Amino acid sequence: MNRQWLYAKQPQGKIGPDTFQWTETAIPEPRDGEALVRTRMLSLDPANRAWMMGKTYRDALEPGQVMSGFAIGEVVDSKTGGLKAGDIVEGDWGWQDYAAMPARRLTRRTTKAPLELLIGPLSVTGLTAYFGLLNIGQPKPGDTVLVSAAAGAVGTMVGQIAKLAGCRVVGTAGGQDKCDWLVRKLGFDAAVDYKAGGVFRALRAACPDGIDVYFDNTGGPVLEAALSLMNLRGRIVCCGNVSQYDVEKPAPGPMAVPGLVVTKRLRMEGFIVMDFYDQRAEAEAKLARWVEEGKIKAIVDVVDGLDKAPQALIGLFEGRNKGKMAVRV
Amino acid sequence: MNRQWLYAKQPQGKIGPDTFQWTETAIPEPRDGEALVRTRMLSLDPANRAWMMGKTYRDALEPGQVMSGFAIGEVVDSKTGGLKAGDIVEGDWGWQDYAAMPARRLTRRTTKAPLELLIGPLSVTGLTAYFGLLNIGQPKPGDTVLVSAAAGAVGTMVGQIAKLAGCRVVGTAGGQDKCDWLVRKLGFDAAVDYKAGGVFRALRAACPDGIDVYFDNTGGPVLEAALSLMNLRGRIVCCGNVSQYDVEKPAPGPMAVPGLVVTKRLRMEGFIVMDFYDQRAEAEAKLARWVEEGKIKAIVDVVDGLDKAPQALIGLFEGRNKGKMAVRV
């Protein structure tokens, strides 16, 4: 049998168990040009929720379809020349045990590393942090880099890469526990609990020389505060808007746009990790080396069992995870 | 006597006659290293109002000081080697007949052109349009360029430079009169009256291929609509926020920031004309040639008499001018 989670209906406000529906169906047969993939690990990402809101960089999810999501799996049957049984592949085939996928929608992974690393730190998550920070943020040694959702999948990587680039690194996270963890375990110079209130004052104290690069995963009040603290010609890497995904009605945008963008000559720039996939091989090799040498700690929060996927995604929006949230299938 | 307008008090809401105070004082004596300048033409700019709001790229205006403003004048006495009586200079010495200015705060103008052109189209205004559009917006032939406050000092220049760059050009302005004028007199492909309501629908109709470059002079509802209509990897040139300068309480920022900035991979970037003054000579020569050859119409709205300066600035925020607003002294 092929166990599946369907996307059942668009949430009004927060996602809940009834956003998804469990079903079981026959294992599909691959057609010519396709491979049958068995899921080994699912990636849970804030973007999963954003796809429910409407068209983004991809079409909106439609109720009734298999819930979309990035995954790692093993080819069990192949009718395409480029892939054979046993190959490890990644792609977006969603929350199910098996999928018959056209070869062009699969990427074969050759980097030797545990699946826990291949699902995040050495794939979408790590590459998002790497390309966003280095290609768009362009930090210089001595710069102050702020990253929001710093204890999350992308944030943990951004902070550590920024440290390797010689920057002073400050993060925001929900709760004092996570903040302490960022400083003690990941080497952040400071961390601010955005749930404690007074986020502007706390960030001002944590960034006495202002902010040169803000890696924005959240939007919302942290973006607003960061705009006020940015230095002349600062760069804001627009990566996500997670504070506004799991809500009934998105909040107004930052007042400081465009006023402070003009007066401080800021650059705000959005990106999607795929924009830089022509540089993927080099970036992935570098990330793998950093992880192997212990220069970067790859933080993965693995939940066991496809049946747990909805609760895990709900937990992600409640801030329960540290690092990459993944489901082992 | 030296007639002066002082900045009298910070406006609550719109500027009015009582924002300024008339005074007469002695003509100052230039000290060593200074030149005594006689004002010939004052530039009135939306930025004049922004300086009243607090610190921007310069310190906030302080009640009691001479009202600041960019000006063109003639040296009448000089105690600095680089300047002599009769030289035409520009600088920010504000709303007064005479000023004793340190040489480093004056720029000698050598371009042969009437003062009406030197005050705007061939100075701050024209250069703002030129550098913002070409250096930050980076339009390609065939791109759709939208410019807000298109009938204003910067907007009229942006639109015409964009046409020379081979773009389809759309502007927003207040009132159907101005819109017709933009199309008939300045060669815009379309213009949208932002005061008529339904600005998003009107812009969508005017930009059937979406927007590649948005030159933002206004912020506010036009920025919000433009964000929704931007094409993938579009550029937003953040030049001004005039919709939010002459108000009691600025409106919330655009909802689409950062959401659409991420999904469409937009770049929003602020600048100040001085950032590019290392390229000023070349740009000014090019603008002067375009104006001389009739490829660009330099639109200047000149009011006679220093006493009229407050009414002229109030009129600018009521949208009474077309092109560059200046006061002949």
Mean pLDDT, rounded, for B154-174: 98
Mean pLDDT of A192-218: 97
Are A318 and A254 in the same domain?
A: no
Alpha helices, DSSP H only, in chain A? Answer: 46-50, 115-118, 124-131, 153-164, 176-186, 199-206, 220-229, 259-263, 280-292, 309-317
Summary mean pLDDT of chain A: 97
Domain assignment present for residue A287? The answer is no
Instruction: Answer yes or no: is A280 within a domain.
Output: no
Q: Is the dihedral of CA B98, B103, B107, B113 positive or negative?
A: positive
- Determine the average pLDDT of the residues in A62-66: 97
Cα A59–Cα A65–Cα A71 angle in degrees, nearest 5? 80
Tens of pLDDT, residue by residue over B294-322, are 999 999 999 999 999 999 999 999 999 99
B313 in the same domain as B209: no
Tally of CB atoms within 10 A around B227: 25
Q: How confident is the model at residue A126 (pLDDT cuts 50, 70, 90)?
A: very high
For residue B92, the tally of other CB atoms under 10 A from its CB is 15
Mean pLDDT of A176-193: 98
Instruction: Calculate how close chain A gets to B53, using CA atoms only, in Å.
Output: 11
Of B238, B252, B262, the CB nearest to A270: B262
Check: CB of residue B307 under 8 Å from CB of residue B67: no
Interval B3-35: pLDDT, tens: 999 999 999 999 999 999 999 999 999 999 999
Q: B183 and B104 in one domain? A: no
**Above 0.85 for ipTM, yes or no?**
yes
Q: Kindly identify which residue of chain B lies nearest to residue A271, measuring between CA atoms.
A: B265
Rounded (10°) CA dihedral B229, B231, B237, B241: 10
Q: Note whether A90 and A71 are within 8 A (CB).
A: yes
- Given a cut of 90, whether residue B250 has pLDDT beyond it is no
Predicted confidence band at A215 (pLDDT cuts at 50, 70, 90)? very high
Q: Are residues A263 and A128 in the same domain?
A: yes
Instruction: Tell whether B54 is within 8 A of chain A (Cβ).
Output: no
* Average pLDDT in chain B: 97
Return the residue of A nearest to B275 by Cα: A265
* Two tokens, residue B56: 């921007």
A21 domain-assigned? yes
Residues in chain B within 8 Å Cβ distance of A238: 258, 261-262, 266
Reply yes or no on whether the pLDDT at A250 is more than 90: no
A222 lies in some domain: yes
Q: The CATH number of the domain where B40 resides is what?
A: 3.90.180.10
- Segment A271-281 mean pLDDT: 96
Q: pLDDT tens digits for B35-75?
A: 999 999 999 999 999 999 998 889 999 999 999 999 999 99
Question: For residues A20 and A67, is the Cβ–Cβ distance under 8 A?
Answer: yes
Domain boundaries, position B89: 2-120+299-328
Segment (H or E) for B235: strand B230-238
Q: Residues B306, B235: one domain?
A: no
Among A210-214, A229-233, A241-245, A248-252, which stretch is predicted with the lowest mean pLDDT? Answer: A248-252
pLDDT of residue A324: 97
A285 at interface of B, judged by CB pairs closer than 8 A: no
Residues B207 and B233 in one domain: yes
> Do A54 and A141 belong to one domain?
no
Q: Which of A216, A266, A272 sits opposite B258 (nearest CB)?
A: A216
DSSP state of B24: E
Residues B131 and B237 in one domain: yes
Amino acid at B269: E
The two most distant CA atoms of chain B are separated, in Å, by 60
> Which residues, in sequence order, are bridge partners of residue A268?
A236, B268
Q: What is the mean pLDDT of residues B251-279?
A: 95
Q: Which of A57, A219, A253 sits opposite B252 (nearest CB)?
A: A253
How confident is the model at residue A45, as a pLDDT? Answer: 96
> What pLDDT sits at residue B223?
98
Per-residue confidence at A287, pLDDT binned at 50, 70, 90? very high
- Domain for residue A281, yes or no? no
Chain centre distance of CA B68: 15
Please tell me whether residues A100 and A189 are part of one structural domain: no
- Give me the pLDDT at residue A151, please: 98
Residues B202 and B239 reside in one and the same domain: yes
Question: pLDDT (tens digit, 9 = 90+) per residue, B116-128?
Answer: 999 999 999 999 9
Lowest mean pLDDT among A41-45, A252-256, B27-31, B153-157: A252-256
- Mean pLDDT across the stretch B246-266? 93
Give how far A224 is from chain B: nearest CA, Å. 10
In chain A, how many domains are there? 2
